[in-house]
Each structure stands twice: as C-alpha cells, then as structure tokens.
Structure 1
C-alpha cells in the first residue's frame, strides 16, 4: 500500500436522521416477521404431528378397552348362566317385566278433559 492511500481522507458517514431510523425499523420488522412465520410454520407442524400421535394412541386404547369389555361381558355371562338356569331364568325365557297399567287408563290420561264451566257457557250461547 502506498502512503497516499493510507492518508487519504475517508468519506464521512452521513448523520443518522429520521429516515434512516424509519428504514432500519422496517428492516427489523421484515426480518422478525420472516423468522416468526418460519417458527409458526414449524410449531404448527409439530402440533399436527403431536395431535396425530394422540389420536392414534386413543384409537389403540379404545380398541383395547372394547376388547376388554367384550371379554369381561362374556366371562360374566358364562359364570351367571348356570345360576340363571337353576332359577329358571335361562336364555330361552324372557326376563320378567314390571307392572303394566291397563291400556284404558293410558287412553283416559291422554284424552283431553273438558271442564264443566266451559260446557255450560257453550250451552248458554246456543239457547240465546
């Protein structure tokens, strides 16, 4: 290097003004937005992956639970079958039903009731 280049005066950097601050702020916002969008995208993918794993686990647990219930139900029925046979409540005979109300009582309840006062008023209007 020559001596003239070393001693050459440098160009002065312009003084920062409001425009420079505004442009720097825009640059920061653009970079933050780009990074934030990338992070949100990866977070969304992670959440979707976790949700899919959870759904698969729940399906497996549900299938195992249903199989366990079926085995338990079959075991209970097998153990109770001899007892029910001795009591005369075997598989061929229907289970006893509760007390039933007669059909006439059902119809009487569902039929609309007329009040005596209404009938008298209607009869009085016809006469007049």
Structure 2
C-alpha cells in the first residue's frame, strides 16, 4: 500500500500544474476503450474491473483523475508501469480508455453479497 501512496504522491507532484487545470478530456468511446484496455494489457496490472492490486497497480476504476493527468501518467508512468507512447496508444485511444474507466460500475457492497454475509 505504501508504494501506491508514494507513487500517487510523486505523480501528483510531477503533474500538479496539469491536474490543476480544468479537465478537458476529448470525447471518448467507452466500448472501444474496453477493447483497448484488454488489448494493450492494462487489465494485467489493474485487473479486469480496474480494481487494482497492491503488488501490481493501483485502482483505475471510476477514476476521478483529470484526463491531462491520466495521459501524463500513461506517457510518463511512476514506478514499474511501462510508458505508453503515442505510437502505442494514441491520444484518442487514451481518451477511449479513460471514458471506459470513468463509466465502470461501482463495486458491489459486500454486505449485499449473500456468500460474504456472516451467519451467526
């Protein structure tokens, strides 16, 4: 968990001026973003539902990160994430992935999952 916090703090310091600007994400196609999320391998570290994992990558589901900061992280990642240069993921494809991440459903309330309810 500590490495995730450090990575996020470093990212916010590096992208601070960018993040302070108003979010002006280009229109993205969430359906194409879902395809790209899987094709370029985002799911391998961030999970199929964008939930992230302590050892592989932070949660990206329903990101509140401004597009400019998201794009900066994609191009100049913190920690072990490989950089996704424009030749690999274009700005429009990044906008599609961003649109997909933003519209992901909220995680279910664990109390609403019968199997997880403790029976006393």
What TM-score does the superposition give when structure 1 sets the normalisation length?
Answer: 0.15
For CA contacts below 8 A with separation 6 or more, give which structure has more relative contact order: 2
**Rg comparison, structure with higher value:** 1
What TM-score does the superposition give when structure 2 sets the normalisation length?
Answer: 0.16
Larger helix proportion of the pair: 1
